[in-house]
Amino acid sequence: MKIWISGAFSVGKSTLIQEIKKYTDIEVFDETAREILEEIGKRPEDMTKEELNKLQELIVERQTNKEQIHSFITDTTLIEVLAYSKDLEVYNKIEKQIKEHYKKQIYDVLFYIPIEFEIEDDWLRHTNKEFQSIIDKRIRDNILKYRPAKEIIKITGTIEERIKEIKKRLT
């Protein structure tokens, strides 16, 4: 089974995935972008356009490689990378890769998490609420455009309520 937890930054995806790990044997891929940013040691807000282009390409490469296994849960997909790349030179290249990727790869379930909480500043993520709303809209638009999952479910509420709903859907 291939499961995607989707939403803009700071909506609780990583927290949710950490909890889901406790209830499943399915491999979980933590946020690929966070992993790379920690390696680089730089926030996106502090990067040049050229660095951001390279970052997005690296995320696409790493995430595509991770998704070669049969079953997994992830909170990063090419759809999100495309949302963040909209204003970058690399956008058209990534969009082409996405079209090819989703001819071969489709998720069984997509759990979409809307914006419900205040942004938590953890040094790596953006802290701009307006940008968060823009990314959220781009992700929703991309989901509708590419239909990357057999089933799309909007999950709201507290972390406990979200976990309960996801567990119910996965059993």
User: What is the residue extent of each domain of the chain?
Assistant: 2-170
CATH code for the structural domain at 2-170: 3.40.50.300
Q: Would you say residue 121 has pLDDT above 90?
A: no
Distances 170 to 38, 114, 122, 151, 157 between C-alpha atoms, Å: 31, 20, 30, 12, 18
Express each pLDDT in 123-135 by its tens digit. Answer: 777 889 999 999 9
pTM for the complete prediction?
0.87
Identify any residues that bridge with 112 across adjacent strands, giving them in sequence order.
Answer: 6, 154
The predicted structure's pLDDT at residue 127:
87
Mean pLDDT, to the nearest integer, of 93-122?
Answer: 87
The predicted structure's pLDDT at residue 30:
72
Count of Cβ atoms closer than 10 Å to residue 168 Cβ: 8
The predicted structure's pLDDT at residue 171:
76
Rounded to a whole number of angstroms, the distance between the first and last alpha carbons of the chain is 12
Mean pLDDT, to the nearest integer, of 11-24?
Answer: 86
Chain mean position to CA 135 = 11
User: Greater confidence, 55 or 101?
Assistant: 55
The predicted structure's pLDDT at residue 147:
83
Express each pLDDT in 55-94 by its tens digit. Answer: 999 999 998 888 888 888 888 888 888 999 988 899 999 8
Q: Would you say residue 138 has pLDDT above 90?
A: yes
Mean pLDDT, to the nearest integer, of 92-103?
Answer: 85
The DSSP string of 116-144 is -SPPP--SSS---HHHHHHHHHHHHHHHH
Averaged confidence pLDDT in the chain: 88
| Residue 159 tokens, joined | 């972390």
